[in-house]
Amino acid sequence: MRVGLTYDLRDDYRALGGFSEDALAEFDSPETIDALEQALAANGCRVERIGHIRSLASRLVAGESWDLVFNICEGVAGRNREAQVPALLEAYNISYVFSDPLTLSVTLDKAVAKRLVRDAGLPTAPFSVIENDADARACSLAFPVFVKPLAEGTGKGCERASKASDRKALLSAARSLRARFNQPAIAEPFLPGREFTVGVVGNAAAARIIAVLEIVLLQNAEPDVYSFENKELCESRVEYHLADDAEARAAGATALAAYRTLGCRDGARLDLRSDAGGVPQFLEVNPLAGLHPTHSDLPILASLSGMSYETLIGEILQAAKLRTGVGLVQSKRRRRIPA
């Protein structure tokens, strides 16, 4: 099976020029692409590197095609940036791994995702979208609140100042986030409880939890928040362990239900944090979860639960094959040959 690999490498965008380092923060490192290529090859794929959307576009226009595209492009601009590669692939009728454009857009906007999750009756904290100072003044949430950019990832803009204990702090934090990220901010009550991230693979009724990972910040970490800096320096600042007590299982159940509600496909990672009563609240879903073999949360939780990187990628690939039918025809034919 010929599998194209679409991805956004920091160096490719640096070479194009005109992008800030902040805009490239979520992009992948060459080690991730090497590891992914090897894992796909080990799962029987003939891998062709495609790279970013511009490279994909020119190859499509030149008439190239693939049986399946394994897409991990984060995109560059706007809240639909993750949807762009899948939308282009759909226009050319090419099947791809992971969620479709609607899910990728809906989940990048944390408020839209939370509205759908709340509508499904799942626990997610109340929130306020802050587009200007008037919104911050009108915000009726009880303090302390946590304020972050509406449509970012990797802990960007989630930092010490995100925890605002009064209205003045909220006004100033929201102002600074809006200016830095050029988008509205979202405020929620500060959730003081345990933090979980849940890995899911598969589709619809067959979707299943790989494991629930608890994230524990060490003494030397930036306090209270699994921030961009804490993530970057996770090897020395964060302790990860699998959790299977009642609260962790509740986090898993909410995560799996949110995965299905939001129409996630093939695999994803969902973040939750508990309120003061110990009830895990949906924060957000990462339908394009980081896939660095040792540094990203999904491979970390898979590995702690005894699933190798190769098997994790194999499970995601298998989910996409079952969903699309791509790569299954040959084995069906084989089964029909009498023994």
Ligand X SMILES: Nc1ncnc2c1ncn2[C@@H]1O[C@H](COP(=O)(O)OP(=O)(O)O)[C@@H](O)[C@H]1O
Token pair listed for 137: 């003044």
Closer to Mg ion at the Cβ: 69 or 302?
302
Residue 309: contacted member of ligand X, Mg ion, none (CB under 5 to 8 Å, by partner type)? none
Q: Is 153 in the site for ligand X (CB under 6 A)?
A: yes
Out of 39, 125, 171, 213, which residue is the one contacting ligand X (CB under 6 A)?
A: 125
CA dist., res. 186 & res. 183, Å (int): 10
Q: Is 82 in the site for Mg ion (CB under 5 A)?
A: no
**What strand order describes the sheet that includes 208-217?**
238-242, 208-217, 195-201, 267-274, 280-286
CA dihedral 168, 109, 285, 259 (to 10 degrees): 130
DSSP secondary structure, 199-245, as one string: EEES-GGG-EEEEEEEEEE-TTSPTTS--HHHHHTHHHHEEEEE--S
Residue 190: contacted member of Mg ion, ligand X, none (CB under 5 to 8 Å, by partner type)? ligand X
Backbone dihedral angles phi then psi of residue 164, each to the nearest 5 degrees: -105, 125
Residue 225: contacted member of ligand X, Mg ion, none (CB under 5 to 8 Å, by partner type)? ligand X
The 211-250 site mask, x for binding ligand X (CB under 6 A), equals: --------------xx------------------------
Where does this chain touch ligand X (CB under 6 A) — which range of 61-69, 155-163, 235-243, 251-259? 155-163
Check whether the bond before 144 is cis (ω within 30° of 0).
yes
CA dist., res. 33 & res. 44, Å (int): 17
Where does this chain touch ligand X (CB under 6 A) — which range of 29-37, 151-159, 295-303, 318-326? 151-159
Residue 302: contacted member of ligand X, Mg ion, none (CB under 5 to 8 Å, by partner type)? none
Closer to ligand X at the Cβ: 26 or 315?
26
Closer to Mg ion at the Cβ: 222 or 310?
222
Asked if residues 26 and 156 have their Cβ atoms less than 8 Å apart, the reply is yes
CA dist., res. 145 & res. 7, Å (int): 35
Residue with nearest beta carbon to Mg ion: 271
Closer to Mg ion at the Cβ: 37 or 297?
297
Q: Is 271 in the site for Mg ion (CB under 5 A)?
A: yes
Point out which residues bind ligand X (CB under 6 A). 125, 146, 148, 152-156, 158, 188, 190-191, 195, 225-226, 271, 273, 283-284
- Residue ranges that bind Mg ion, judged by CB under 5 A: 271
